[in-house]
Chain A
């Protein structure tokens, strides 16, 4: 009997099996055929193992980077890259992360169905990364596994519902409607951009739109994640290798290989690892997200899908470029400040600055024209440089792994939970989560009392009545 229990435990300790089971549930509720269910379940199992293998590649390339950085500058150098850190986190916290991800979606549907915050968070990849971070923080706080999953899922569901709500007032200005929202872990920084842009708008001479500027083309390569990661990491590794010097690198790390070639190859290997992790994440999510979407469409009336940031890129292509550049400058300014302060150094993560910086630019432009796009995205750049720095201590051992979560929401959620944990332990975390749930319902009630006007002309209800 005991032997049987142990086998059962061994099964459930395997994150790949947990995600495969979630996938099995997802496919079954979609009433897929037996062969589709079997195919999807096995693909998810293998996809998770692909992801784990990618983590190994990334870690292999990051370790020499950390050593070189430490030797050259005598401080810790941290590369914020979601895929890189999540790959590592999932090796230790995979099972609870997968369960938090799954139950978080259910909480999201429940909150959307019962409050005025009708947002369904459909960016499965970043939600999955968020679940991984929450699993770490709850684990570091010392919760039992079941409690990690219980409270973690509530925190995750709250996050998925509230982050789109934060950006929505500015999103309405971009799209001119209230039908779609942004669901991305850059939400807090993007909302900050909207806020800054509103403040600097200027009443007398409103700043003109970025779209009146004629920009040169030819930065298309920025859109290709693999290329941009390899190029930017190549430059960063090269600089660090030059400072570390050939003596150290060739002696201790590269086994005699020329230090420049070694650095460039490690940077390319990092990109290769991210490529593998992305492929794994894609397979893992392929069966789960459509089920989530299908269920939420059935259960939540007037649901607003919260989607990945590129949905706003087409609204203001110039602001995309301007936003990325401003955010990146913010990241560099932040890094210089850290050098003077002597803290660990957050190297600007190009992917994060591109994705969230570009969205900040578009939102900033809608709220405050050119000036808004530039200053808003700059504020985002500063935020995603300092938030990861503050986040490092609450991540426990994971904070020392040369890589970290890159977007603003990880910082906001992580610091909320992490500081509660430092201040009052598990009780404070539980109290904080319950208080947040209460706050959501109170806010929803206030909105309901205030906003009955917008309810009067719901097109959905209009057509439904017409059909009868």
Chain B
């Protein structure tokens, strides 16, 4: 399983989202999910199972497969919900009792 955070240069914002996804996965106790970040220009369909972008890039990622659009890329609460949903949709088990 691989998540990919994407922004226009692949350096700043996507890296931050990448680190935040790592954090959420750790909180949830989920292992075995590979997280990385990249720039819009070098992502191809199939590079990841799910791609995370900010809503300003939502129009630019058509055709890249499964995309999660974040309304705000600095909102941890939103990210937590969306990572959880994505994991659930993929059938990844979230260890119970950990998410206090």
Interface residues of A (CB under 8 A from B): 122-126, 175, 180, 184, 217, 220-221, 223-227, 275, 278-279, 281-282, 285-286, 289-290, 293, 305, 307-311, 313-314, 317, 320, 351, 355
Contacts and interface: CB of A to CB of B under 8 A. Distances in A.
A314 B12 contact: no
A220 B41 CA distance: 12
Given A124-B11, A125-B11, A314-B73, 5 more contacts: A220-B60, A224-B41, A226-B41, A282-B38, A311-B13
Given A226-B41, A275-B42, A310 B56 contact: yes
A317 B72 CA distance: 12
Interface of B: 7-13, 15-16, 19, 22, 37-42, 54-57, 59-60, 71-74
30 contacts: A122-B16, A123-B11, A124-B12, A125-B9, A125-B11, A180-B74, A223-B60, A224-B8, A224-B39, A225-B41, A226-B41, A226-B42, A278-B10, A278-B11, A278-B39, A279-B42, A282-B10, A282-B11, A282-B15, A282-B37, A290-B19, A290-B22, A307-B13, A308-B12, A310-B7, A310-B8, A310-B13, A310-B56, A320-B56, A355-B9
Q: Which 6 pairs across A and B sit closest by C-beta, in order of nearness?
A: A308-B12, A226-B41, A125-B11, A220-B60, A310-B13, A313-B56
Contact of B12 (A217, A220, A307): A307
Contacts of B59: 217, 220
A451 to B, nearest CB: 24
Given A307-B74, A311-B73, A225 B13 contact: no
A314 B39 contact: no
Contacts of A184: 12
Contacts of B60: 220-221, 223-224
A124 B37 CA distance: 14
Given A225-B41, A275-B42, A314 B8 contact: no
A216 B74 CA distance: 27
Contacts of B37: 282
B34 to A, nearest CB: 13
Contacts, number: 94
A118 B93 CA distance: 38
Contacts of B73: 310-311, 314
Contacts of A180: 74
| Main secondary structure on A side of the interface with B | helix
Contacts of A311: 13, 16, 73-74
B90 to A, nearest CB: 24
A299 B72 CA distance: 27
Contact of B54 (A224, A278, A310, A355): A310
B54 A313 contact: yes
Contacts of B72: 314
Contacts of A126: 12
Contacts of B39: 224-226, 278
A230 B24 CA distance: 37
A308 B12 CA distance: 5
B16 to A, nearest CB: 6
A351 B54 CA distance: 19
Contacts of B57: 220, 223
Nearest to B15: A289
Contact of A223 (B15, B19, B42, B56): B56
A355 B8 CA distance: 10
Contacts of B9: 125, 225, 278, 351, 355
A221 B32 CA distance: 34
A334 B17 CA distance: 36
Contacts of A224: 8, 39-41, 60
A180 B13 CA distance: 13
Nearest to B41: A226
Nearest to A305: B16
A225 B40 contact: yes
Contact of A275 (B7, B41, B55, B71): B41
Given A310-B73, A314-B56, A223 B8 contact: yes
A286 B54 CA distance: 20
Nearest to B43: A224
B11 A293 contact: no
A276 to B, nearest CB: 11
A221 B59 CA distance: 9
A224 B38 CA distance: 11
B12 A310 contact: yes
A317 B60 CA distance: 14
A431 B39 CA distance: 41
Contacts of A175: 74
A279 B13 CA distance: 15
A290 B60 CA distance: 28
Contacts of A355: 9
Name which of A184, A217, A226 has the most chain B CB atoms within 10 A of its CB. Answer: A226
A278 B40 CA distance: 12
Given A180-B74, A314-B54, A314-B72, A308 B11 contact: yes
B42 A314 contact: no
Nearest to B54: A314
A293 B40 contact: no
B12 A123 contact: yes
